[in-house]
C-alpha cells in the first residue's frame, strides 16, 4: 500500500508507480483515503477497490459496563493466535499478516492491544482489538472476532474497552472505518454510540 501521506501531485504518484514497477511489483493499493484525496489517483489510472464507512464517537456517552466477556492485555506470544483470528474474521484482501500486525501496533504513539480468550482458555483466542491514540485523536484500528465467538459479546466488550481507554487518556473523539457492505460491523459500532459521517473513505488499486 502507498503510505499514510497522501500525494496530491500526479507527477509524484507517477514517479512512485515507476519505482514500484522497477522493483518488480505488479499492482499497487492505496491506503484508505478521502474522496478529495482520491482524485489524483483516479487521474493516474487507479480504480476504486473498496468503499468504506467512516464513523465517529465523541466519547461522551460510553457503553455501560456489563457482564460481558472479559478481555486482557495481549502479549507477544499471542501473535500467532491473533493472526489466526484475523485470518478467519476477514477476507484475503483485508486480513493481516505478521508485518501488517506489527505496523498496526506501531501506527500511533500510544496503543492498546487486547485479546479475549474462550472459556476455558485452552480453546484459544476468541477476539482481539488494537486501538491507537495520537494526541487527542483515537482510532479503532482493528476489531476481529473468531467465527465461533460471534454473538457472544466479544465485539461490544472490545469496543467499549477501547472507548473507555481513549477517554481516560483525554482523547476527544474516536474514529473507525469499515467496509460499505459490512452490516455486522456497522451494527456493532452504532450500538456502541458511533455515528456515520457523511463522507466516507475509499481504497484504490491499479495494475503496473
Domains, the chain, in order of start with CATH, read 59-171 (3.40.630.30)
Q: Which residues contact 75 (CB under 8 A, 6 or more apart)?
A: none
Indicate the pLDDT class of residue 8, thresholds 50, 70 and 90: low
pLDDT in tens, 81-123: 999 999 999 999 999 999 999 999 999 999 999 999 999 888 9
Burial class from Cβ neighbours inside 10 Å (0-12, 13-18, 19+) for residue 118 reads middle
Indicate the pLDDT class of residue 9, thresholds 50, 70 and 90: confident
Give the C-alpha separation, 104 to 5, whole Å: 16
* CB 139, CB 174: distance < 8 Å: yes
Give the C-alpha separation, 137 to 73, whole Å: 21
Nearest alpha carbon to residue 127 among 118, 119, 136, 135: 118
| Cell numbers representing residue 207 in the block | 495494475
DSSP designation for 90: S
pLDDT in tens, 163-188: 999 999 999 999 999 999 999 999 99
Amino acid at each position: 500500500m502507498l503510505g499514510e501521506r497522501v500525494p496530491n501531485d500526479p507527477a509524484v504518484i507517477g514517479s512512485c508507480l515507476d519505482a514500484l514497477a522497477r522493483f518488480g511489483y505488479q499492482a499497487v493499493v492505496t491506503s484508505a483515503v478521502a474522496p478529495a484525496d482520491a482524485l489524483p489517483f483516479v487521474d493516474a489510472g487507479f480504480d476504486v477497490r473498496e468503499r468504506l464507512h467512516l464513523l465517529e464517537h465523541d466519547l461522551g456517552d460510553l457503553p455501560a459496563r456489563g457482564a460481558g466477556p472479559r478481555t486482557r492485555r495481549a502479549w507477544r506470544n499471542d501473535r500467532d493466535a491473533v493472526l489466526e483470528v484475523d485470518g478467519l474474521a476477514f477476507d484475503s484482501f483485508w486480513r493481516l499478516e505478521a508485518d501488517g500486525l506489527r505496523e498496526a501496533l506501531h501506527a500511533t504513539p500510544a496503543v492498546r492491544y487486547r485479546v479475549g480468550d474462550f472459556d476455558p482458555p485452552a480453546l484459544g483466542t476468541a477476539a482481539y482489538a488494537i486501538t491507537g491514540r495520537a494526541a487527542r485523536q483515537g482510532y479503532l484500528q482493528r476489531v476481529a472476532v473468531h467465527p465461533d465467538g460471534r454473538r457472544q459479546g466479544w465485539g461490544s466488550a472490545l469496543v467499549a474497552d477501547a472507548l473507555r481507554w481513549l477517554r481516560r487518556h483525554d482523547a476527544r473523539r474516536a474514529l473507525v472505518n469499515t467496509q460499505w457492505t459490512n452490516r455486522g460491523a456497522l451494527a456493532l459500532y452504532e450500538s456502541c454510540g458511533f455515528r456515520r459521517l457523511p463522507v466516507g473513505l475509499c481504497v484504490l488499486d491499479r495494475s503496473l
